[in-house]
Amino acid sequence: MNETRVPIHSDADIIAARHLGRKLAEQVGFSGSELTVIATAISEIARNIVEYARSGEVVLRPMNQGSRRGILVVAKDRGPGIADVELAMQDGYSTSKGIGLGLPGARRLMDEFDIDSKVGKGTTITMKKWIA
């Protein structure tokens, strides 16, 4: 199992990213509803790239930490960046077209969640989920 990089340029790529994410999660050993949870979280952050940065990539990687196994998902873009990350992470916050950032939701679904964003430079979102 290796790292998989999925370029995100259009909404069709969102589907590819979550499909591959589900497959990798299955290989890592996740099962049942956790697969859907992971795929959904990937969908949210991949869409975030399409909506705000227009292009970027999603990186999927299995994690091995001693006896713990999990999946690492990173969404990277060189878009406009998020000016106020805290505000963006509040539920119900929305900017363009009444479409809210799905980030607070993605955070709820995953075990670890981190946003690194600089205005004018881009955004990197790192999410992790471990097998319980």
> Tokens at residue 24, please?
């990798």
Residue 20 Cβ vs other proteins, minimum distance, rounded to whole Å: 8
- Bridge partners (DSSP) of residue 63 are 70
Strand intervals (E) in 51-99 = 56-65, 68-77
> Tokens at residue 57, please?
């990539």
DSSP structural state of residue 100:
B
Amino acid at 79: G
Which residue's CB is nearer to other proteins, number 39 or number 123? 39
Q: Rule CB under 8 A: choose which of 37, 63, 72, 89 binds other proteins.
A: 37
Owner of token pair 């060189």: 78
Which residue's CB is nearer to other proteins, number 3 or number 84? 3
User: How many residues are given for the chain?
Assistant: 132
Per CB under 8 A, does 105 bind other proteins? yes
Amino acid at 43: S
Choose the stretch contacting other proteins; rule: CB under 8 A; options: 7-15, 71-79, 81-89, 121-129.
7-15
Question: Using CB under 8 A as the criterion, which residues of the chain lie in contact with other proteins when the complex forms?
Answer: 2-7, 10-12, 14-16, 18-20, 22, 29, 31-33, 35-37, 39-40, 43-44, 47, 50, 67, 91, 99-100, 102, 104-106, 108-109, 131-132
